[in-house]
Amino acid sequence: MSATLDKLTTVFHDVFEDDDIVLTRETTAADIAGWDSLRNVMLMRKVGRTFGFPIDTSEVTGLKNVGALVDMIDRKKGA
């Protein structure tokens, strides 16, 4: 597991209040109970705070899965 995915898993545990969530690069919103539009906003705010940069809604609209989110975070961290 990448360091980003590991850290992101902790964020998901916090936002969804479920320590049993196991993230993979293939995980989608359909795989996690309660991942609706409101929870997505909360998730992206927490992701931004955790990784130290804002996440714009337009940046995450087209992401297909957690792997795409990890890649986006890694690109932003490298910028």
What's residue 79's pLDDT? 57
What are the average pLDDT values for consecutive 10-residue runs of the chain, which has 79 residues? 92 97 96 94 95 89 94 88
What's residue 3's pLDDT? 94
What's residue 58's pLDDT? 85
What's residue 57's pLDDT? 80
Q: How far apart (Å, rounded) are the C-alpha atoms in residues 26 and 69?
A: 10
Domain 3-78 has CATH 1.20.1440.130: no
Q: What's the token pair of residue 12?
A: 């998901």
3-class DSSP string for 29-63: HHHCCCCCHHHHHHHHHHHHHHHCCCCCHHHHCCC
What's residue 30's pLDDT? 95
Three-state DSSP class for residue 28: coil
What type of residue is 38?
L
